[in-house]
């Protein structure tokens, strides 16, 4: 049976290495629930070995010219494109999403690497001549040292690529702990990184669970931690990591609302909502899971059109690109989503389309759930308060845009949101005032492109700096400001006891 192990100091652990694989966890194919391999869960000692390797590799890597570090990223980009099909198959096999969707996330990851290739430009620093008599001053951005990343199951390629390429391009060394539910893709991409020329110890992968995470959060040698996952764990990672003196950015869960105004192009809004709610089976932190319709007429038309579209959805094995939606990631997650659907019915929401009990011929044991549509959902219901992370779209009915905005602002999460309208004034008011980090106007998944940064507000992000883009350069470096004078005749002034200024 295939064992997904670790990559430490440039070497993959051997599948029969019981010291490095003290515990193994089954990996299942979500489409069939067959066991397809075992993932090794690293012990504290194994994580410490990875940290030692990263620490040893740091001085030489830090001093390598940025242009040389980046040249490796150019090669990696090409290798990712050459191996795209294999990477997407690994994603689909463990996650369940349709291959085309996997290709989309990989492409977004590659775009992050393309942005990282401009690191020499971004690390140029800031220089001021003559800040005082014959005194020059400049700021430079130095790497932090050994950094760590902890990633979720739902973007096995893209989210790790938000982190380590920029971290190492800035001169840090890195330890990535991917999700134990979808570990193969990150490991394979790291192997491509080694093939591209990343030296031993600069990038290390440890697979594991809480034991590995806790070691990364508490070891003195780790300078910074990037985390993406659910809000309770994000909060835990942030509080534990910062209590241990680390710089931490921890991205959490979401509940993303779209407001549909009476003047919106409803066919366009419905098409956009279908993809945003049901694409990737709703397992996206930017999925739209609530449609807030302004006015009953808007709501009635919206629900009727959504019902029609849901009937056309093709659900089945993700390896078949003819399908729109694959299975949920695990049986346990399917049970959790179904539990929330039952809670919605009990709390009085109207289940207009019930996707439960669906069977895909040939894949009867898979974690399949058809698209579900709830109408007349209210604020206090569990299906509105919780992130369902499944193919469940809730429709809420309000009378005004302000009422819809109040619902969004009151929600604990603030990752993404969207307004469908033809009214520029409403769009401007909405984007200016809504308390959410990423806003779309007639764009349902406003995931920023690689040269902007990604991040939510409220309990969707613990920390200050967003992921990738310009914020990631700041996250993975620390500013040092140097003020320099070379005394020459004429600038010798003797002791000064007042605070130096240009006054």
Nearest residue by C-beta to ligand NAD? 229
Angle between helices 266-278 and 296-312 (to 10 degrees): 60
Closer residue to ligand NAD, CB minimum distance, 262 or 470: 470
Residue 207 as a binder of ligand NAD (CB under 6 A): the answer is no
Cβ of residue 154: shortest distance to ligand NAD, in angstroms? 5
Position among 28, 453, 460, 472 found at the interface with ligand NAD (CB under 6 A): 460
Q: Is 281 in the active site?
A: no
Q: Which is nearer to ligand NAD, 259 or 285 (CB)?
A: 285
CB 177 within 8 A of CB 208: yes
- Nearer to ligand NAD by Cβ, of 210 and 480: the residue is 210
User: Tokens 């009635």 — which residue?
Assistant: 300
Q: Which is nearer to ligand NAD, 70 or 110 (CB)?
A: 110
User: What is the side-by-side strand order in the sheet with 3-4?
Assistant: 3-4, 35-41, 23-28
For the bound state, the minimum distance from the C-beta of residue 283 to ligand NAD, rounded and expressed in Å, comes to 7
Min separation Cβ 286 and ligand NAD, Å: 8
- State CA 326 to chain mean position distance: 20
3-state class (DSSP) for residue 359: coil
**Using CB under 6 A, which of the segments 114-122, 172-180, 305-313, 335-343 binds ligand NAD?**
172-180
Which string of x and - marks every residue 397-416 that binds ligand NAD (by CB under 6 A)? ------------------x-
Q: In what order do the strands lie in the sheet with 350-353?
A: 350-353, 372-375, 392-398, 288-294, 256-260, 416-420, 438-441
Binders in 413-452 for ligand NAD, by CB under 6 A: 415
Residue 465 binds ligand NAD, judged by CB under 6 A? no
| Among 318, 261, 260, 322, CA closest to 291 | 260
Q: How far is the CB of 252 from ligand NAD (least distance, A)?
A: 6
Q: What is the dihedral of CA 159, 164, 169, 174, to 10 degrees?
A: 170
Site map 127..166 versus ligand NAD, x via CB under 6 A: -----------------------xxxxxx---x-------
End-to-end CA distance of the chain: give it in Å, rounded: 74
Q: What's the sign of the alpha-carbon dihedral 12, 238, 329, 45? A: positive
Rounded to a whole number of angstroms, the minimum distance from the CB of residue 128 to ligand NAD is: 36
**Single residue of 2, 68, 210, 451 touching ligand NAD by CB under 6 A:** 210
The three-point CA angle 145-151-154 to 5° equals: 155
Report the residue number, 200 or 445, with the smaller CB distance to ligand NAD: 445
Q: Point out the catalytic residue in the list 185, 285, 394, 418.
A: 285
Q: Which of 88, 387, 388, 391 binds ligand NAD (CB under 6 A)?
A: 387
Tokens of 149: 């990343």
Name every residue whose Cβ is closer than 8 Å to that of residue 497 and which is 6 or more positions away in sequence. Answer: none
**Nearest 5°: CA angle at 131, between 125 and 133?**
140
Q: Closest separation between CB of residue 152 and ligand NAD, Å?
A: 3
Give the binding range for ligand NAD (CB under 6 A) out of 37-45, 85-93, 96-104, 223-231. 223-231
Nearer to ligand NAD, 41 or 261 (CB): 41
Nearer residue to ligand NAD within complex by CB, 171 or 390: 390
Burial class (CB in 10 A: 0-12, 13-18, 19+), 308: exposed
The single-letter DSSP state of residue 221 is T
- Nearest residue (CB) to ligand NAD, 193 versus 455: 455
d(CA 118, CA 130): 29
Q: Contact with ligand NAD (CB under 6 A): which of 58, 238, 251, 278?
A: 251
Residues 443, 234: Cα–Cα separation, whole Å = 27
Assess 456 for contact with ligand NAD (CB under 6 A): yes
The nearest distance, CB 329 to ligand NAD, in angstroms, is 8
Phi-psi group of 59: left, alpha or beta (phi > 0 → left; psi -120 to 50 → alpha; rest → beta) = alpha
Tell me whether residue 61 or residue 462 sits nearer to ligand NAD (CB atom): 462
Q: Which of 111, 209, 354, 409 binds ligand NAD (CB under 6 A)?
A: 209
- Tell me which stretch binds ligand NAD (CB under 6 A): 165-173, 208-216, 303-311, 481-489: 208-216
Our measurement of the distance from residue 428's CA atom to the centroid of its chain's CA atoms, rounded to an integer in Å, reads: 27
313 to 372, contacts with ligand NAD by CB under 6 A?
none
147 CB contacts (<8 Å, ≥6 apart)? 167, 172, 173, 174, 175, 222, 223, 224, 225, 226, 476
Binders of ligand NAD among 225-244, rule CB under 6 A? Answer: 228-230, 233
Q: Considering only 45-53, 116-124, 249-257, 347-355, which stretch makes contact with ligand NAD by CB under 6 A?
A: 249-257
Cβ distance 387 to 284 under 8 Å? Answer: no
- Taking CB under 6 A as the rule, does residue 219 contact ligand NAD? no
179 lines the binding site for ligand NAD (CB under 6 A): yes
Between residues 4 and 233, which has the closer beta carbon with respect to ligand NAD?
A: 233
Spatial CA neighbour of 360 closest among 27, 29, 26:
29
In 3D, which of 235, 193, 240 has the Cα closest to residue 216?
240
| CA-based nearest residue to 155, from 318, 4, 286, 321 | 286
Out of 115, 238, 278, 389, point to the residue binding ligand NAD (CB under 6 A): 389
Residues that bind ligand NAD (CB under 6 A): 150-155, 159, 177, 179-180, 209-210, 213, 228-230, 233, 251-254, 285, 387, 389, 415, 456, 460
Residues with a catalytic annotation lie at 285
């Amino acid at each position: 049976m295939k064992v997904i192990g670790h990559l430490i100091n440039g070497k993959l652990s051997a599948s029969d290495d019981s010291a490095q694989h003290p515990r193994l966890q089954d990996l299942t194919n979500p489409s069939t629930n067959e066991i397809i391999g075992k993932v090794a869960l690293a012990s504290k000692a194994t994580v410490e070995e990875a940290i030692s390797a990263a620490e040893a590799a740091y001085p030489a890597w830090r001093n390598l010219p940025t242009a040389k570090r980046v040249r490796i990223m150019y090669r990696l980009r090409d290798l990712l494109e050459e191996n795209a099909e294999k990477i997407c198959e690994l994603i689909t096999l463990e996650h369940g999403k349709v291959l085309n969707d996997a290709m989309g996330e990989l492409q977004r990851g590659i775009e992050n690497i393309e942005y990282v290739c401009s690191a020499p430009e971004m690390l140029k620093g800031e220089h001021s001549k003559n800040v005082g008599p014959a005194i020059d001053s400049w700021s430079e951005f130095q790497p932090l040292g050994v950094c760590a990343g902890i990633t979720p199951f739902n973007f096995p390629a893209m989210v790790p690529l938000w982190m380590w390429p920029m971290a190492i391009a800035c001169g840090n060394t890195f330890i990535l702990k991917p999700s134990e539910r979808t570990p193969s893709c990150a490991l394979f991409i790291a192997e491509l990184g080694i093939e591209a020329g990343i030296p031993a110890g600069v990038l290390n992968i440890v697979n594991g669970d809480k034991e590995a995470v806790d070691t990364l959060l508490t070891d003195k040698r780790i300078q910074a931690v990037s985390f993406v996952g659910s809000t309770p764990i994000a909060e835990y990672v942030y509080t534990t990591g910062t209590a241990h003196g680390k710089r931490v950015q921890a991205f959490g869960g979401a509940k993303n609302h779209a407001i549909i105004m009476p003047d919106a192009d409803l066919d366009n809004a419905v098409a956009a909502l279908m993809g945003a709610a049901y694409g990737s089976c709703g397992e996206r932190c930017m999925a739209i899971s609530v449609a807030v319709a302004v006015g009953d007429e808007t709501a009635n038309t919206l629900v009727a059109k959504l019902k029609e579209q849901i009937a056309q959805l093709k659900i089945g094995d993700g390896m078949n690109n003819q399908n729109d939606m694959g299975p949920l990631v695990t049986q346990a997650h399917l049970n959790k989503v179904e539990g929330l659907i039952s809670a919605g019915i009990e709390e009085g929401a109207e289940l207009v389309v019930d996707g439960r009990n669906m069977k895909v011929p040939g894949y009867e044991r898979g974690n399949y759930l058809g698209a579900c549509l709830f109408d007349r959902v209210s604020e206090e219901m569990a299906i509105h308060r919780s992130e369902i992370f499944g193919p469940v779209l809730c429709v809420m009915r309000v009378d005004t845009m302000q009422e819809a905005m109040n619902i969004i602002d009151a929600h604990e999460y603030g990752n993404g949101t969207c307004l469908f309208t033809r009214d520029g004034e409403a769009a401007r008011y909405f984007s200016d005032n809504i308390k959410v980090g990423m806003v779309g106007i007639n764009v349902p998944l406003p995931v920023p492109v690689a040269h902007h940064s990604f991040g939510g507000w409220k309990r969707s992000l613990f920390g200050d700096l967003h992921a990738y883009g310009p914020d990631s350069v700041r996250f993975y470096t620390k500013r040092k400001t140097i003020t320099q004078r070379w005394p020459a005749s004429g600038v010798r002034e003797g002791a000064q006891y007042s605070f130096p200024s240009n006054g």
